[in-house]
Amino acid sequence: MEEIRKEKIWRKVLGELECVVSKANFSTWFQNTSVRDEKNGIVFINVPNSFTKEWLKNKYNKFILGALRKTDPLIKDIEYTICDKINPIPLKKSQRYYSLNNSSDDAQLEFNEINQTKESLNPRYDFDNFVVGAFNELAHAAAVAVTKNPGTLYNPLFIYGGVGLGKTHLLQAAGNAMKKNNPNFKIKYITSEKFANGIVESIRNNTTHTFKESFKKCDFLMMDDVQFLAGKTKTREEFFHIFNTLYEDNKQIIFSSDRPPRSIPDLEERLKSRFEGGMMADISEPEYESRVAILKNKAQTKNVDLPNETIEYIASMVKSNIRELEGALNFLSAQFKLLGKTLSFKETQDIFEKKFLPKKKITFNKIVKTVADFYETNEQKLFKKSRKKEDVLPRQIAMFLLREDFNASYPYIGQRFSGRDHTTIIYAYEKINKNMKSDSQIENDIKAIRNILYGSQ
């Protein structure tokens, strides 16, 4: 589906939604969405997190589908896809007026207006509102350091970690700090996808030299999501020359990726070597204390008053990333605006368990059976003490899922697995958790197992 058609369709849908839902609901659930694609009558809609996905599916799916069918009667269904970076369509005047004047919900509404600076930096991202914890302190310290000594200390700086962990915030915060410290610096922030599109466009218009020169003149370059350079031969070639020019001129470069350089497929050795030649810092999943701090920080920013008991409960339930935490907070914020009161802890707990935590319905035996079936092995083999590779991996994945999804304690899992010591379970959990980040096969296996578990409920 062409970009213009996608934008036109979604604009019409949003226009209808704006007439029938409250301002609070519209801004919370629909503002940061877009149409990704349409294939065989199925429209794929980008949403920022799983909370938005579940809410739209449960509450608005029928209405959205009806609005889509008004634009194209052949549309059959909707699929919601969680997307790390969404470009909302430009707002109409009426919508823009609402967004800019609804100061109580400033999480995402004003981004289109703000993101028009020459450097494509969002001034709301800075180091002051970046919550630092054990999970990201190295990446934060390195980003701060390069703004004080650009091009000399850590160059390039390569920050990697999963979706929704704050990599973009950190890059943009570094750019804003550099802009403040060095007003005359030429600063550029860009995603690798936009860079690739720029290369294609410049080739088409015969302006490749001009495009490349605009980057070579940078004093400070930040490129987000460099993993998307994989598979784009011409883009990588041009990027390699730009990188060399900037590096030789001691210009600071920061990259972000969802994985370390060695794990990016179809990336030639010379680029991997360049990426690894400076400082590499990873951002892992936030630990409990950091999740609590993040929720308190964002609640304060949104002027949402939540009891500590509620914040601690959300932090214990939402473990994957910061974006999911913010999605949970957006949900509670919307309830506060609609009901005019803060949800009690019991109300919050009931909503989370019913709407957002279906995984709690699974059982110990169901996890073990699903893992055994997936690897085409006998359930009893998982409980035995065999050290064969074909037995060890399924056993460790079962232990990981029992801890992560069933929330079973390490001693309990050890007891059920033939009386193993709890340290054995901890080792298995940490090993799988670590390998998921570097081994795509294990990551895909676990995703597939979870799809079987939760899809069958």
Q: What is the DSSP string of 110-135?
A: THHHHTTSTT---TT--STT----TT
70 is known to lie in a ligand binding site: no
Class of domain 361-455: mainly alpha
Give the Cα separation of 188 and 403 in Å (integer).
Answer: 43
For range 442-453, the mean pLDDT:
86
CATH (residue range 288-356): 1.10.8.60
Residue 58: pLDDT band with limits 50, 70, 90: confident
User: For the chain, what percent of residues have pLDDT higher than 70?
Assistant: 88
Query: Is 164 annotated as ligand-binding?
Result: yes
The pLDDT of residue 94 = 42
Confidence of residue 252 (pLDDT cuts 50, 70, 90): very high
**Mean of the pLDDT values across residues 337-358?**
70
Is the per-residue pLDDT at 343 higher than 90? no
Q: Is 198 annotated as a binding residue?
A: no
Q: Percent of the chain, pLDDT > 90?
A: 28
Please tell me the distance from the alpha carbon of residue 137 to that of residue 343, in angstroms, as a whole number: 33
Among 189-198, 322-331, 341-350, 414-423, which stretch is predicted with the lowest mean pLDDT?
341-350
Contact 382, 368 (CB under 8 A): yes
CB 327 within 8 A of CB 50: yes
Instruction: Select the highest-mean-pLDDT range: 176-180, 297-301, 354-358.
Output: 176-180
pLDDT value at residue 412 = 86
Q: How far apart are CA 349 and CA 332, in angstroms?
A: 11
Q: What is the value of pTM for the model shown?
A: 0.55
Listed range (12-16, 394-398, 426-430) with the worst mean pLDDT? 12-16
Which range is most confident: 110-119, 319-328, 379-388? 379-388
Instruction: Name the band, by pLDDT with cuts 50, 70 and 90, for residue 150.
Output: very high
Per-residue confidence (pLDDT) for residue 122, from 0 to 100:
86
Annotated ligand binding at 162? The verdict is no
Reported as a single tens digit per residue, the pLDDT across 80-126 is 888 877 766 654 544 433 333 333 333 322 223 223 334 478 888 99
- Average the pLDDT over 387-397 and give the result: 91
Q: How confident is the model at residue 169 (pLDDT cuts 50, 70, 90)?
A: very high
Q: Which of 8-22, 271-285, 336-350, 379-393 has the lowest mean pLDDT?
A: 336-350
Q: What is the CA radius of gyration of the chain?
A: 24
Q: What is the mean pLDDT of residues 431-435?
A: 91
- The domains spanning 3-93 and 117-283 adopt the same CATH topology: no
Average model confidence (pLDDT) for the chain?
82
Determine whether 16 is exposed, middle or buried from the number of CB atoms within 10 Å of its CB (0-12, 13-18, 19+): middle
Among 145, 146, 219, smallest CA distance to 183 is for 219
Candidates 57, 64, 46; CA nearest to 356 is 57
Instruction: Look at residue 209 and tell me whether its pLDDT is greater than 80.
Output: yes
Q: Is the pLDDT of residue 177 over 70?
A: yes
**Main-chain phi, psi angles of 455, to 5 degrees:** -75, -20
CATH class of 117-283: alpha beta
155: left (phi over 0), alpha (psi -120 to 50) or beta: beta
CATH class of 3-93: alpha beta
Extents of the domains making up the chain: 3-93, 117-283, 288-356, 361-455
Reading the block at residue 84, the tokens are 């790390």
pLDDT given at position 103 = 32
